[in-house]
Structure 1
């Protein structure tokens, strides 16, 4: 059993979505005297600065994409891992705070993590340009994002959902479920696919989890519309800062002076469009707050001031690292709250989370009470990772970087994929058998003993070891076939209308200066 709340939105590589600067002066100094000037065009405004390594954020996204997969997959084996540690005699190791995320809260927490990363990515490029007093470039970048972002989110989503619609008409391929019955004809299936997609991806309707296209295999679609709405929120949060940056202000309260009206703007827009759920809006806006780190702050400048002695600087850095470590563990504790929709009593009955659950604001429905703490916890986790080198090194390892590169397509494809090979393997090894497979080869032919604690049992680990790598391979090739066309189309449109500059074609290798 999988719930509609187990979803995350994931958007492309961070390294391809942030502004990049070209240090032309440094390059010119390397050329011998008398060398003609070479014009170097600014690259696309959505690529990262060369002097800012943000690949560890890709690793973070990769880790949580695996958490989402595990969280959804384990539902075919047990639901007890979603209970709180100590609730009504439940003491499974996989329900312990800090350890429980992959088995119990991977989907809901992933929503917060990826929405916050989206808010950061959507804001940081514009803020860097405003900080450099390039307001015109910032406006062009926003217009470019308004064109490229919908294509980046919607085109892959529509292609995957179209594939599901076609597979529903292929006998014996997708396992039948009560909530996604095929239409009688191919024409009726395509008609239903088109209008369901247009309706549900529209910003003019509610996207609270619960009403999904073909429900089961496409239950992540609501996050696409919420991510697009996040672009609007990011613009509302960042754009009023233009005048402050144009004055080259270094006031550390710059974000506070210009943002009192922003919540009113976003609430008004939300009422007009009726498009954003509370669980999605808050993480997106907290992601925008992360860009405060690119604004000059005098108290940070003092840490590297030459007037400070070495001992004072070391002490300041130690205090900063200590604070970041404390914030990280507090944030991880918050995102470990039991997260079963419509079952607030589980969190209230779990030791260590009773008081936290009671403090949830009343405007959060019982259905998604946990999203308030997920939003704050994920914000604290990401904020601290940006300041802790040991965590950045952890998220730079190659396996997590690989998972980060395929996370978007892993997210889009894993639910339909569950209805092909994984759904059959679970029954083959002695687990839950789909009604359509009873009495067939897949009905316990290779029954495997299920030994070990829930969430770490032998049968679950065996099935996970087989199915996850296959889904990763599918996701890797889906990037070329499904994901990249939307990226290239958006870039071609913005370059054609002049919002982005074309990258110069390089013919051969430029000789190295002597």
Structure 2
């Protein structure tokens, strides 16, 4: 059912843009897309689900959790500690296992990488299964050509915006440089040597202008690794290809290369997904006993996948500090194999995050109720703007978190007239009005601050998605088409090929 378009009041301002078409052209780019679609239903896009749409939804929810993670860590750090391990601080409910997944952003990065491996592999692997190697090679060439535009293009635009905000003083850390020229050359160095420099593999290069973009070069270089592996194995038999991919996954873990393991695991899951859709599952096959036997097998598999989700979400609550003191987590920490156990303090969690990400992505696709949730409208919307949320949330937090959250009341220290006396500081913002003196106040302040800043992030990401992200994707496609060599082979080249 279409909603009627509201009538705008007659005034000199509105009369200038009095038609629906003119208002559509003015307002639509500035409003969140779901608001614009409601006001202007004539231009509402249609979104169709496909067999892997649930992965888009999962990636979208994960990107929102990454934003909530950085919001929480930067403003309510006390909530990130494990429940009850600090006797001098009363615990809050959000610190409990499973509940704390709402702000556990680090495991979400590993889910991103597994999903990327799956999605980037899906089309060429599908062509291999169809015995269409030409289509496989075309898909690989196209993905390789456009990958840099897809990943780096939006980051270049976003960091240019951050450059402007730094130099004009809207963002205060770091301070503005003496000239715009110096600021530009500093930005160029960050883009060349941190954001778009992929050959550090899985190192965190901590990019200037937006430290959250540290995953982008890792994403790019492992995309190239993935394409090379698919090309290498495109002509071999199915079981040999699966064994080779599984062996490379094990090799990456043995070398401490968590991102390589995750991308290749995505490739492995993509092939499993295609095989499952090509033939009935074991418990659905007519070769497996009677209906009762099938029901038992289906129940066993459901329990298995629920257990994997259950364990994966528990591991996802791994704290940033004091893992060795956290019940349950300290067990996994003690079981971390070499070399992850000896690399650095964060390496053990990366090992377990990688394993749990693989099992979560696999199990979500096997459990109908989870797959339906991630195919729902909210998750799918988050999926469409997921990359924009990831890119935009850092600058938006830098601009608005301090004005919105403010500071809590600070009592006076010392005695009036004596050295070291400090006057009380009146609280302001969310923290000043609601307080952070105990876990209840902190949780309430966290929630209300999130309700204010969250829509700002979604709005900014929605606009960035339509104004920058989608046009960059389209630009990559146009450049690829413009550069393609579609000429017919010459007689000389055909004779050379025959002679070869």
TM-score normalised to structure 1 length: 0.73
* In 2, Cα distance between equivalents of 1:238 and 1:136: 13
* In 2, Cα distance between equivalents of 1:222 and 1:424: 27
Q: Residue deviations 1:356-380, cap 9 Å, x none?
A: 1012234233332311111111111
* In 1, Cα distance between equivalents of 2:337 and 2:125: 31
* In 1, Cα distance between equivalents of 2:183 and 2:457: 26
| Alpha-carbon shift at residue 310 of structure 1 (Å) | 2.9
Unpaired runs of at least 5, structure 2: 1-46, 411-422, 487-500
Match of 1:181 in 2: 175
Q: Is the 8 A contact 2:168 2:176 kept in 1?
A: no
Matching of residue 242 in structure 1 with residue 234 in structure 2: yes
* In 2, Cα distance between equivalents of 1:75 and 1:259: 36
Q: Residue deviations 1:425-464, cap 9 Å, x none?
A: 1117769xxxxxxx9x997277312377369622222221
Larger Cα-atom Rg: 2
**1:67/1:260 CA distance change after superposition, 3 Å:** closer
How many residues align? The count is 417
| Alpha-carbon shift at residue 313 of structure 1 (Å) | 2.7
Match of 1:45 in 2: none
| Alpha-carbon shift at residue 307 of structure 1 (Å) | 4.3
Match of 2:10 in 1: none
Matching of residue 361 in structure 1 with residue 332 in structure 2: no
Q: Residue deviations 1:251-300, cap 9 Å, x none?
A: 5x651156646877x79xx9xxxxxx834333222222211314547995
Match of 1:453 in 2: 439
* In 2, Cα distance between equivalents of 1:396 and 1:414: 24
| Alpha-carbon shift at residue 76 of structure 1 (Å) | 4.0
| Alpha-carbon shift at residue 478 of structure 1 (Å) | 0.5
Task: Show the 5 A alignment for 1:192-271.
Answer: 192-200=186-194, 201-205=196-200, 208-209=203-204, 211-214=206-209, 218-245=210-237, 251=239, 254-256=241-243, 260=247
**1:429/1:473 CA distance change after superposition, 3 Å:** farther
* In 2, Cα distance between equivalents of 1:72 and 1:154: 22
Match of 1:112 in 2: 110
* In 2, Cα distance between equivalents of 1:121 and 1:62: 14
Root mean square deviation of aligned Cα: 3.2
**1:63/1:302 CA distance change after superposition, 3 Å:** closer
| Alpha-carbon shift at residue 400 of structure 1 (Å) | 2.2
| Alpha-carbon shift at residue 224 of structure 1 (Å) | 0.9
**Secondary structure, counterpart of 2:188 in structure 1:** helix
TM-score normalised to structure 2 length: 0.75
**1:382/1:262 CA distance change after superposition, 3 Å:** closer
Q: Is the 8 A contact 1:236 1:262 kept in 2?
A: no
* In 1, Cα distance between equivalents of 2:49 and 2:102: 33
Q: Is the 8 A contact 2:249 2:265 kept in 1?
A: no
2:461 to 458, 475, 484: 475
* In 1, Cα distance between equivalents of 2:118 and 2:107: 17
**Secondary structure, counterpart of 1:123 in structure 2:** helix
Which structure has greater helix proportion? 2
**1:323/1:367 CA distance change after superposition, 3 Å:** same
**1:306/1:260 CA distance change after superposition, 3 Å:** closer
Q: Is the 8 A contact 2:245 2:268 kept in 1?
A: no
Task: Show the 5 A alignment for 1:264-413.
Answer: 278-296=257-275, 302-308=282-288, 309-338=290-319, 340=320, 343=321, 346-364=322-340, 365-368=343-346, 369-413=348-392
Task: Show the 5 A alignment for 1:30-49.
Answer: none
Q: Is the 8 A contact 1:144 1:494 kept in 2?
A: yes
**1:240/1:445 CA distance change after superposition, 3 Å:** closer
Q: Residue deviations 1:204-256, cap 9 Å, x none?
A: 34662253214xxx0122211110112122124433432235xxx5x5x6511
* In 1, Cα distance between equivalents of 2:201 and 2:232: 27
Match of 1:123 in 2: 121
* In 2, Cα distance between equivalents of 1:156 and 1:293: 32
**1:301/1:424 CA distance change after superposition, 3 Å:** closer
* In 2, Cα distance between equivalents of 1:151 and 1:469: 28
* In 2, Cα distance between equivalents of 1:405 and 1:235: 24
**1:387/1:417 CA distance change after superposition, 3 Å:** same
* In 1, Cα distance between equivalents of 2:53 and 2:479: 27
Task: Show the 5 A alignment for 1:88-99.
Answer: 88-89=86-87, 91-99=91-99
Match of 2:79 in 1: 81
Match of 1:132 in 2: 130
